Amino acid sequence: VRPCSPPPYRRGSASHRACLIARYNFIYAKERLEAEAQLRRYFCDLETVQRIIYVAVVESFRSAKCHFWKVKINVKDTLAVCHRGGPSSLEVAVLDYIACHKDLYDVCTSVHEVVCAMNKNRKLPCPGEVDFLVISTLIRELCCLAFSMQTLIPALDIAFGVDGECFNRNMYYRSFDSDFTAPFVAYHVWPALIEDGTVIVKGEVVTKK
């Protein structure tokens, strides 16, 4: 960890939050589709491709958050030595420091962890059928984004969906190939983005009877 005094950062947190949300939407609109195109070379079934990408998003956020907490503990121990404010101001200082020094995060390790987790996921094709590293660019972007989202107060996160759950119109859009009369989620295409329990960006699901 570098010298104790982090630069003034919290004053721009609103614009930083807006940029991260915009980045999440951009990944959904563009980079997700590029990853789909890469996977369609190996799988004809769109459902399989969409399930793979959804798991990639979930695992990317899980890994990034785990690494964030490890980095946060180290930074907090270091800044506490010379910090003059109270616990709450130390917390803000730690988050600001991490936000300004993103290289503290070993994203390559996260990408490896995500690919390994996907290889072990029973809902996805066997590892021999495709190397999930083909979508490593998407995974890397998601990990970096998820890590940065943890520096916000409150942090941004994704909602974890379960196949078979009741469709929630406040949290999800139905995919174009859904049965619009079906009340249950067959599978998830993209997770909703939430902030302190409130949906900020809706996700996408496929509903079928």
pLDDT band at residue 14, thresholds of 50, 70 and 90?
Answer: confident
Mean predicted confidence (pLDDT) in 96-100: 93
Q: Specify if 29 maps to a domain.
A: yes
Enter the pTM of the model: 0.90
- What pLDDT is attached to residue 129? 72
Lowest mean pLDDT segment, chosen from 28-37, 73-82, 146-155, 189-198: 73-82
Please state, in angstroms and as integers, the Cα–Cα distance from residue 18 to each residue in 8, 113, 202, following that order. 18, 28, 15
Q: Specify if 179 maps to a domain.
A: no
- What pLDDT is attached to residue 68? 98
Q: What is the DSSP string of the chain?
A: ---S-PPS-GGGHHHHHHHHHHHHHHIIIIIHHHHHHHHTTT-S-HHHHHHHHHHHHHHHHHHHHHHHHHHHHHHHHHHTTT--S-HHHHHHHHHHHHHH-GGGS-HHHHHHHHHHHHHH-TTSPPGGG--GGGGHHHHHHHHHHHHHHTTSSSPEEEPPP-TTPBP-TTTEEEPTTS-TT--BEEEEEEPPEEETTEEEE-EEEEE--
- Total tally of structural domains belonging to the chain: 1
pLDDT band at residue 12, thresholds of 50, 70 and 90?
Answer: low
- The answer for residues whose C-beta is within 8 angstroms of residue 67's C-beta and 6 or more apart is 105, 106, 109, 110, 147
Mean predicted confidence (pLDDT) in 180-204: 96
- What pLDDT is attached to residue 89? 83
Q: Specify if 188 maps to a domain.
A: no
Q: Specify if 20 maps to a domain.
A: yes
State yes or no: pLDDT of 11 exceeds 90. Answer: no
Per-residue pLDDT tens over the stretch 157-181: 999 999 999 999 999 999 999 999 9
CA proximity to 148, closest of 110, 186, 117, 179 = 110
Range of the domain at 26: 12-156
Phi, psi angle pair for 185, to nearest 5°: -85, 120
Q: Specify if 77 maps to a domain.
A: yes
**Cβ density class 28-67: b for 16+ within 10 Å, e for less:** beebbeebbeebeeebeeeebbbbbbbbbbbbbbbbbbeb
State yes or no: pLDDT of 9 exceeds 70. Answer: no
- What pLDDT is attached to residue 159? 96
Q: Specify if 184 maps to a domain.
A: no
Q: Specify if 189 maps to a domain.
A: no
> What's the chain's average pLDDT?
91
Per-residue pLDDT tens over the stretch 32-91: 999 999 999 999 999 999 999 999 999 999 999 999 999 999 999 888 887 777 767 888
Q: Specify if 78 maps to a domain.
A: yes
- Of the chain, the percentage scoring pLDDT greater than 90 comes to 79
- What pLDDT is attached to residue 123? 86
- What pLDDT is attached to residue 83? 72
- What pLDDT is attached to residue 13? 79
Mean predicted confidence (pLDDT) in 99-109: 95
